[in-house]
Amino acid sequence: MGVVRTPDERFLGLPGYSFEPRYAHVTAKGVEPVRMHFIDSGPSDGFPVVLLHGQPTWSYLYRKMIPVLNDAGLRTIAPDNIGFGRSDKLTERTDYTFQRHVEWMTSFFSAVDLRDATLVVQDWGGPIGLSALAAVPDRFSRIVATNTVLHTSDPELSEALTWANYGLGDGRVVLEEALIDYVLFCQRTPDLVPSMFVDAIAGPLPDDVKAAYDAPFPDATYEAGLRQMTSLIPLTRNDPGASIGRRTWHALRSWERPLLTAFSDADPATAGWATVLQDRVPGARGQSHSIIGGAGHFVQEQQGEQLAATIVDFIQAT
């Protein structure tokens, strides 16, 4: 198993990101332990808020939200998924699996000994984080979901989602063309540049901010996890990820603690999932679900302060 670490100097002087790096060793079946980077900011005795990113970003995405949460007396913990940010990067793409991402995150939750935590998930932070929560639910008191998904390709999703991903009859699936285009682009393009996606949706971004999103990936040696993650999206009912999703949904259908949806108003890739979560999760009933205006998929970049204020209000109310 090959592992590389992005040189520390790549992270010097990033705009808005002066957090001290912290590390935890995490485990998953079939690979050696690896080092996961995380931010741990704010009062040590504050209620912990765990902020999970997706692809192609890293904890830099949460830099605008962390000060707002800290000012409200909350402790913020923002890990980088293995293969992203300052975390270790396995060099073989096939070493990354959906299940290992879940196991690495579950291991992280134990390593930092989370208690009474609020889990905030966006993009792949949802499938990974919610599945890890399902393994250790007693560590969490609340969930905030924003611009995320939990695909299973189940036929019952046929009318629920803007971007189609569902089974049809026996042996067929209906998939959004843009979803397939994105998956294939990440596999085929010779140059996979994270800032290109963030800038296209949340830009125009300053050059130094774009460079910060790209900092974890000096060259292709570091990009195995970045490329592989889109190929792990469950696109059929037989996909191993769909099985993980169904297990996670089984746990969420009995989640009685508070769950808030705070999706943005301009993200077709995740449109419809807020309603699915509200309908399926008992803890979502009666909550003050919100829509964050003026933002696309990377809501933390465009309306991070507003999302953070929404989270503060939710925690104080529950």
70: its two tokens: 């800290």
Check if the beta carbon of residue 232 is closer than 8 Å to that of residue 98.
yes
Residues labelled as active-site residues:
123, 267, 297
Q: What is the DSSP letter of 59?
A: G
Closest CA to 246 of 160, 158, 170, 153: 153
CA 21 to chain centre: 19
* Cα 67 from Cα 73, distance rounded (Å): 10
- DSSP symbols for 194-247: HHHHHHHHH-PPPHHHHHHHHTT-SSGGG-HHHHHHHHTS--STTSHHHHHHHH
Query: Could you tell me if residue 158 is left (phi over 0), alpha (psi between -120 and 50 degrees) or otherwise beta?
Result: alpha
* Cα 30 from Cα 92, distance rounded (Å): 13
